[in-house]
Amino acid sequence: MTHYFPRPQFRLPPVPDRQTGEPRPPTAPRRESSAYETTPADRTPRNPPSTPEDLGPALEWSQFAKRHRAQAAVLMPVLFAAFVTFRMGGFDWVGDWVPWIWMALISAFMYWRTGCEWMAAGSVWVQDGPDWINTYELVRIRFSVDGLRRVLRIEDSEGRKIHSFGLRNAQSNPLMWDLVYNGILHSVASGNCDISNKARKVLQIPPSLGREPADTAD
């Protein structure tokens, strides 16, 4: 049987207004990225997925610009060509049509794949691709690794899930991460959120926040 011990009180930052995002949450801890990207002010999102309008607008968002998509579409085939050249010990491969087809496919895939990247946050919600959750009503948080990506698996009280929430992507935009992290803090503090020990450690959740199982394996 799992026993729970009461935790000392922790003073939470206020919940921002759903429409304005004010007051903005304090700076959240970041381990996955030291980048400082900002939401573009010179353009609007390109074909974004539907957002939960009843929970307020998107205050921060991240999406590859066309020039960055083009750069990725060029860079990856160049790296592939360098690899083939190294493996074959020269440029004899240039007369073979197979590597060229592979490079064309890689270029097209990278341009398409980077165009699918989308992350946004409102005052009380976050969206990764088409999937979104209410950050103040989280009931489950787990940490995992997908390939080279360190991710969260998160679920809210309505059963909505984001299976692979990229921490590096989110933390690259600090203002967006601040909004998300504030919701995580409130969810954990509610006592209704099942957060693993690993996720608590990775997210640097204060040990006094919420309740913590006396016996946990993860």
Identify the sign of the CA torsion 140, 141, 142, 146: positive
SS3 of 10, please?
Answer: coil
My answer on whether 97 and 157 are in the same domain is no
Residue 91 resides in a domain: yes
pLDDT of residue 5: 45
My answer on whether 112 and 125 are in the same domain is no
User: Of 180 and 47, which is predicted with more confidence?
Assistant: 180
Percent of the chain with pLDDT over 90: 47
Residue holding tokens 């009503």?
A: 137
> Helix crossing, 66-88 with 97-116: angle to 10°?
150
Residue 201 resides in a domain: yes
Domains identified in the chain, total number: 2
My answer on whether 123 and 109 are in the same domain is no
Residue 158 resides in a domain: yes
My answer on whether 112 and 82 are in the same domain is yes
Burial annotation 144-164 (CB, 10 A radius, 16+ → b, else e): eeeeeebbbbbbbbeebebeb
User: DSSP assignment of 26-92, as one string?
Assistant: PPPP-SS--------SSS--SSPPP--GGG----EEE---HHHHHHHHHHHHHHHHHHHHHHHTSSG
pLDDT of residue 214: 42
My answer on whether 157 and 106 are in the same domain is no
Percent of the chain with pLDDT over 70: 82
In the numeric block, which tokens belong to residue 180? Answer: 């998300």
My answer on whether 139 and 109 are in the same domain is no
pLDDT of residue 211: 65
Mean pLDDT for the stretch of residues 27-32? 92
**8 A C-beta contact, residue 39 and residue 60:** yes
Q: Domain containing 75: what range? A: 66-116
My answer on whether 125 and 70 are in the same domain is no
Residue 102 resides in a domain: yes
